[in-house]
Amino acid sequence: MKIVVSGLGIIGASLCASLRAAGYPVYGKNRSENVVEYALEHGMIDGEEKSYEDADVVFLALPPAVTMRELDTAKFKDGAIVADICGVKGVLERLVFSRPRNYRYVGTHPMAGKETSGIRSASATLFKGANFIVTSCERTDPDALETVETLARAMGFGRIVHCTAAEHDRKIAITSQLAHIVSNAYVKSPYAAKSWGFTGGSFQDMTRIAGVDENLWTELYFCNRESLLEETEGLIERLTEYRDALASCDEEKMRALLREGREKREEIRRGR
């Protein structure tokens, strides 16, 4: 089985490194030659590939727009398994199944990463114990799905989660995309940069994911615009309740809001 990973950032290079550590032959494809050289020097890949035409399995570790272009126009081997790792799924699945393809598509989303990016942040152990989401529909090839799951286990993922593309996008809007928006907005307080010496775990938790790649995340947000807009509007409504309790000096209302939030947090913990 020949595997090609296109896009050697933190996730793509970690895919390569973890699969190679598991004994699979893995080849990298990347537009920057220095990144390929780094991957070769650090034993992440067996070699460089310029195309997908003789690959049995292809992982597209690319931004959404580039992923969609590759899925729609690139040349793949007949019957090849092509999986993307994008943080959105609906737009990709609709594109793939808009017409017949000679490859077998599987949508995936590795739920792992760091605050840093790029190949120098990649490692063969990045996915150890992490969740791996696989999306499918009635047109997904079951053998391709099984192969992707086997590779995910070899990479060290601890849990494989199955869902539809629509369910993925709805849930990722709250678990990832909204969280990044909140963190990014939070650090814009004029006091945030003046508060060192007054910070603890809460500040670190709230600011950890503020430093997003604005180009990538704008693409992700607008590919999932409806779900993210709904979650953003809901958060604004809930925050307004806290603001109104403060503005009206309503301590009982504030206690009730905080109690409700605490109980919701406990409910989430019990459901894990």
pLDDT at position 113, please? 82
Backbone angles phi, psi at 163, to 5 degrees: -165, 175
pLDDT at position 74, please? 97
Pick the CATH number of 168-270 from 3.40.50.620, 3.40.718.10, 3.40.140.10, 1.10.3660.10: 1.10.3660.10
User: CATH topology of 3-163 equal to that of 168-270?
Assistant: no
The domain segmentation of the chain, as residue ranges, is: 3-163, 168-270
Q: Which fold has domain 3-163?
A: Rossmann fold (3.40.50)
pLDDT at position 272, please? 65
CB atoms within 10 A of CB 21: 17
pLDDT in tens, 138-186: 999 999 999 999 999 999 999 999 999 999 999 999 999 999 999 999 9
Please list, in sequence order, all residues whose beta carbon lies within 8 angstroms of the beta carbon of residue 106, skipping any fewer than 6 positions away.
Answer: 81, 82, 83, 134, 135, 136, 140, 141, 144, 145, 148
Token look-up 């947000």 returns 221
pLDDT at position 261, please? 97
3-state secondary structure of 134: strand
Q: What is the pTM of this model?
A: 0.91
Strand order in the sheet with 159-163: 47-48, 26-29, 3-6, 57-60, 81-84, 104-111, 131-135, 159-163
pLDDT at position 200, please? 87
Please list, in sequence order, all residues whose beta carbon lies within 8 angstroms of the beta carbon of residue 245, skipping any fewer than 6 positions away.
Answer: 251, 253, 254, 257
pLDDT at position 195, please? 84
Residue numbers of the chain with a pLDDT score lower than 50: none
